[in-house]
Amino acid sequence: MTSPSGAVAAPAHGADPATFRLASVALIMGGFGIGVTEFVTMGLLPQIARGIGVDIPAAGHTISAYALGVVIGAPLLSVLGAKAPRRAMLLGLMSAFAVANALAAMAPNYETLILARFASGIPHGAFFGMASLVAVSLAPRGHSGRAVGRIMLGIPIANIVGVPLATWVGQAYGWRSAYWAVAAVGVLTVVLVRLWVPRTEADPEQNWHRELAAFRSTQVWLTIGVGAIGFGGMFAMYSYIAPTVTEVTGRPESWVPLFLLAFGVGSIVGTWLGGVLADWSVLRSLVINGAIMAALLATFSFTAQWTVPAIVTVFAISMVTGAWVIGLQMRLMSVAGAARNLGAAMNHASLNFANATGAFLGGAVISAGYGYRAPSLVGAGLALGGLLLLAWSVAVHRRDTAATRAYGPAA
């Protein structure tokens, strides 16, 4: 272990190390289930389309439906659940998650599948928000950042191990088996949370007026907009990765998990690199990453036809996007000021808005007959759009800093 928690005799803050470790495992398991259900749909898109009897762009709407569930669920449940006891809230969220995934696995037709996927997305943001608060309260003093980072590990682990594995299982035993597996992870998480997460009370000092005040800031809206548009570029490409591999690269379906693995490793390297780059300069790394992301997405529209260049481009896109998300999160937390909680929850909401629009626009150009290379060109356009909003945000930032220097801080 990297943390010296075993050496701490009686931490003044948080629980004993064994409790903290077991609670972390339970919470990572929940994040893992969420990560698999969010990304396995991309790997199994052709199977879902065939199984439910719709075309690929229509199946892509199930990706958008999940993401819209996150966009609506994250702020709504965060506000409604602010006063609820945290463990009870976690248990409720994960039970709903398991039921919704089981419903998706049983969905008799396209409409019910869309509804079940929408319902699966609703607990996503609130679970991560609640889990972060629990982790911080159990962590030893001075380990809050690392505790939150540890909880978030569920998603990269899902992308490296869970998603390629679930895609493979789904190809062998039908797409429904993948959602059944996720529902099982949800049930397991409920059991583990009940066993290993101590009962904690809600924070009586939660003040939503202060949090909501953040929404009066132009910079907060601009930063949310940068994520909501720019991040859509990656999703426009990645949502249709499975048909792209079979139709453009010309490899059999069994090669799809390989692309998903490259994506997963890219997101791990990118998340780590993003932290290092953010320490260097948040704004500069956001601009450079955004520009590289746009160029890579445009490049993928023709490297997609050769296997190794295609895999490497997917790896590079995922790496740059992963680093970009960290920069965005840091930027959002600094512009949101006192409203850090809502700032972090809104980052989830804006990234999933991007997921919904990216998958939708990518599907729209496929439906229009432009083929499977077109979504990544749309993605390059979205990334450029995000970059333009970022330029606007930097301009506002410069003007405000200049004003502060000339007239002192605004009242």
Binding region for another protein (CB under 8 A)? 1-2, 6-7, 16-19, 21-22, 160-161, 165, 168-169, 172-173, 195-196, 198, 251, 255, 258, 261-262, 265, 268-269, 272-273, 276-277, 280, 285, 288-289, 292, 295-296, 298-299, 302-303, 306-309, 311-313, 315-316, 319-320, 323
Q: Cβ of residue 166: shortest distance to another protein, in angstroms?
A: 9
Q: Cβ of residue 195: shortest distance to another protein, in angstroms?
A: 7
Instruction: Identify the DSSP state of 9.
Output: S
Spatial distance between the Cα atoms of 131 and 34, rounded to a whole number of angstroms? 13
Q: Cβ of residue 329: shortest distance to another protein, in angstroms?
A: 17
- Choose between 283 and 312: whose C-beta lies nearer to another protein: 312
Q: Say how many Å lie between the first and final Cα of the chain, rounded.
A: 47
Q: How far is CA 53 from CA 24, 38, 138, in A?
A: 41, 21, 48
Answer whether 232's CB lies under 8 Å from 243's CB: no
- Choose between 8 and 394: whose C-beta lies nearer to another protein: 8
Q: Cβ of residue 351: shortest distance to another protein, in angstroms?
A: 20
- Choose between 24 and 219: whose C-beta lies nearer to another protein: 24
- Choose between 160 and 336: whose C-beta lies nearer to another protein: 160
How many other CB atoms are found less than 10 A from the CB of residue 232? 29
Instruction: Identify the DSSP state of 361.
Output: H
- Choose between 76 and 287: whose C-beta lies nearer to another protein: 287
- Choose between 80 and 276: whose C-beta lies nearer to another protein: 276
Q: How far is CA 396 from CA 83, 330, 392, in A?
A: 36, 18, 6
- Choose between 251 and 397: whose C-beta lies nearer to another protein: 251
Please return the burial class of 342, using the count of CB atoms within 10 Å of its CB with bins 0-12, 13-18 and 19+. Answer: buried
- Choose between 204 and 252: whose C-beta lies nearer to another protein: 252
Spatial distance between the Cα atoms of 322 and 359, rounded to a whole number of angstroms? 18
* Proportion of the chain in helix, strand, coil states, percent, rounded to 5: 85, 0, 15
Q: Cβ of residue 278: shortest distance to another protein, in angstroms?
A: 10
Q: Cβ of residue 274: shortest distance to another protein, in angstroms?
A: 9
- Choose between 74 and 261: whose C-beta lies nearer to another protein: 261
Q: Cβ of residue 42: shortest distance to another protein, in angstroms?
A: 18
Q: Which helix (H) or strand (E) holds 357?
A: helix 340-367
Task: Give me the phi and psi of 270, to 5 degrees please.
Answer: -65, -40
Answer whether 262's CB lies under 8 Å from 315's CB: yes
Q: Cβ of residue 306: shortest distance to another protein, in angstroms?
A: 4
Cα 349 off chain centre by: 9
Q: Cβ of residue 259: shortest distance to another protein, in angstroms?
A: 10
Spatial distance between the Cα atoms of 382 and 229, rounded to a whole number of angstroms? 6
Spatial distance between the Cα atoms of 135 and 21, rounded to a whole number of angstroms? 10
Q: Cβ of residue 271: shortest distance to another protein, in angstroms?
A: 12
Spatial distance between the Cα atoms of 387 and 410, rounded to a whole number of angstroms? 28
Q: Which amino acid is at 251?
A: R
- Choose between 165 and 366: whose C-beta lies nearer to another protein: 165
Spatial distance between the Cα atoms of 85 and 400, rounded to a whole number of angstroms? 41
